[in-house]
Amino acid sequence: MKKAFTIVEVSILFVIFLIVAFLVAPLSLDDTLQAKNAARWRNVQSDFGNIIYSVNTQKENEDFAFNKVFNETMKKEIKSNAEPYKITYMNGTFPGSAYRFPDFALTYSNATVAYKLYDAPQDGVLGVLMYDVNGQVGPNVWGKDVFGLNIYTDKFEPFCKNDSVATQKQDCSKSGTGLCCSNYYLIGGSFN
């Protein structure tokens, strides 16, 4: 004679499945969200190339000043100003002044962009740009939904582009800042 499962045994199995589902679901949802944000980041790269191209087509003008032309060009990409908000590093700390921005703006794709141009170039870098792919919607963390570019006269370059892959991978982890994720995801790096 076959013995069937008792109600207690079925209930225990059901509870175990629920516990496993509650433990695994947040991890997979976080990875899915992060993959979506990284894909958005990859998609906007050509837009930045177009901005630099637009700035550089005006170099022949007598009164060409990179900062002025760059600001004018960026204004065309901006839908409206946005309220400043706090962005953290992946390790939970807050950025120093180099990666804090006073003015935020919404793009036509509802991303948030902020940038600052330096008074004088720093190792050839004219400024930095922050791009939050999903706007003010959380998590607002460098490397999760916030990415950055160094601004040069002839190009934008993701943060950490010249660092080793090992350095980028380390920074793009829970113990790092997440700044290097700006390039790490573009070269095919995986989520940690």
Domain ranges of the chain: 7-184
Q: What is the pLDDT of residue 158?
A: 95
Mean pLDDT of 104-108: 92
The answer on pLDDT for 55 being more than 80 is yes
One-letter amino acid at 12 equals I
pTM of the model: 0.79
DSSP 51-71: HHHHHHTTTTSTT--HHHHHH
Given a contact cutoff of 8 angstroms between Cβ atoms, the answer to whether 144 and 168 are in contact is no
User: Nearest to residue 38, comparing CAs of 171, 150, 184, 175?
Assistant: 184
Q: Out of 59-68, 157-166, 178-187, pick the least confident.
A: 59-68
Mean pLDDT of 169-173: 94
